[in-house]
Amino acid sequence: MTEPSKQRRKAGLIPAAALTLALLLAGCQPGPPQPPPSTPPGTSGPPETSSPTGTSSPPPGPSEPAGRSVHFTAQGDIGVSTGARKVLDTIAGLRPELNLALGDFSYKAGIEQEFCDMVTGKLGADFPYQVVTGNHESDGHDGDIANIVKCLPNRLPGLQGDYGTQWYVDYPEQNPLVRIIMVSPGIDFHDGKPLDYSENSERWRWTEEALDGAGPKGIPWTVVGMHTPCLGVGRYDCQAGREFTNMLMDKKVDLVLTGHDHTYQRTHQLGVGIPCPNLVPNTFSTGCIADPDAGMEQGAGTVFVTVGTGGVGLYEVNDDDPEARYFASWSGRNRDPALGTLDVTATAGRLSARFVPADGYTFTDAFTIEGK
């Protein structure tokens, strides 16, 4: 399929002899097990050791407050190559509860079952490998999302919507910490036309309602996943749509995940308001940057991450792109190239994410959003 170009926390005094005796006695008693040392928040690094299967042991992730947590991975643009298998090995080593697959799977019609067998062979037949379509399978030209959905079905209870195309789920099902919303703007379907996500359209209103519904249920975090990005320093322009992207920012979505561009790109926290009435693609406005640090606060804006690093060949990145100053970190074929996955952990009070490279790559990135 031809794709358009353009294309970030008194002891009392006792006699010395008694103290000495107490210490000697204590030394003869077995002590309690000692916990392993913790990792400072935000620490990340390249793969350290190799397991017997050749999978790299990933670096320890950011420290998390005690309590319930949700752990998931996300990436898109996968294929059935050695690179895809390396990324799946990385995901398996991380042991997430679920994975968000951001579209573009087999890259060839008729081999969807081969793709699914590869995934289940690495992650297990019942693992929640949750999909949303990419442009390569949306219209049947290089695969069919209907076939992918059939061999990689939904594994999460309570899912609402049309799985594979437009759906949301609260996770975990009881006392959820994250509402995950997956949508499909900006790509063609079987009729040769994109689904309508224009302002006030049915799909726009569905997305708004899904976002607005998280707060009343006391769900701390909202994560939106879709194949096409809007901002980028890679190959593509704003295929997701300017108005739709601004709506996500206006709704203060915490994290937006995309694929399509075969690169890793992470923005600063971006927000709309008085300093930035709306975000305009292909330009830059300082007022749209709500927080330029890797440690951010919830409610100030949205972090956009493109993770098109699931296995296929990488694209180049352009440091001179007009939108580059919106980005905190990027990697592509011509700069710190890496296949890998985004690794996300959410608690009631913090969302932490890091890019974990597949075996043989060293690029990393990490950021946190502190809850309200």
Looking at the domain assignment, is residue 187 inside a domain?
A: yes
Residue 11 has pLDDT above 70, yes or no: no
Contact, 115 vs 124, CB < 8 A? no
Contacts of 161 (CB under 8 A, 6+ apart): 167, 168, 206, 210
Structural domain total, the chain: 1
Is it the case that residue 330 has pLDDT exceeding 50?
yes
| String of DSSP letters for 256-307 | EEE-SSSSEEEE-EE--SSS-SS--TTS--GGGEEE-SSEEETTS-BEEEEE
Q: Read off the pLDDT of each residue in 199-227 and give the average, rounded to a whole number.
A: 98
Q: Is residue 139 part of a domain?
A: no
Whether residue 301 is predicted with pLDDT greater than 90 in this model: the reply is yes
Burial level of 126, CB count in 10 A (0-12/13-18/19+)? exposed
pLDDT tens string 17-62: 333 333 333 333 333 333 333 333 333 333 333 333 333 333 444 4
What local confidence, expressed as pLDDT, does residue 66 receive?
53
Residue 11 lies in a domain: no
Contacts (Cβ under 8 Å, ≥6 apart) of 189: 138, 139, 195
What would the pLDDT profile of 78-115 be if each residue is shown by its tens digit? 999 999 999 999 999 999 999 999 999 999 999 999 99
123 assigned to some structural domain? no
Does the residue 271 lie in any domain? yes
- 174: domain range? 155-370
What pairing do the DSSP bridges indicate for beta strands 160-162 and 129-131? unpaired
Strand arrangement of the beta sheet that strand 178-183 belongs to: 160-162, 166-171, 178-183, 221-226, 255-258, 303-307, 264-267, 327-331
Q: Which amino acid is it at 166?
A: Q
- Strands 289-291 and 269-270, sheet pairing: antiparallel
Alpha helices in 130-237 (DSSP H): 135-138, 145-151, 202-212
pLDDT at 150 over 90: yes
The CATH number assigned to the domain holding 186 equals 3.60.21.10
pLDDT digits (tens, 9 = 90+) for 347-366: 999 999 999 999 999 999 99
Q: Which of 167, 152, 70 is nearest to 106 (CA)?
A: 152
Task: Establish if 63 belongs to a structural domain.
Answer: no
CB 310 within 8 A of CB 78: yes
Q: What are the residues whose beta carbons fall under 8 Å from the beta carbon of 279, sequence distance 6 or more?
A: 231, 242, 245, 246, 249, 270, 272, 285, 288
What angle separates helix 202-212 from helix 242-250, to the nearest 10 degrees?
20
d(CA 341, CA 259): 11
Tell me the pairing of strands 166-171 and 365-370: unpaired
In a domain, 190, yes or no: yes
Average pLDDT over residues 316-344: 97
The pLDDT score that the predictor gives to residue 191 is: 84
Cα–Cα distance between 302 and 251 in angstroms, integer?
9
Q: For the residues 134-144, what does the mean pLDDT come to?
A: 96
135, part of any domain? no
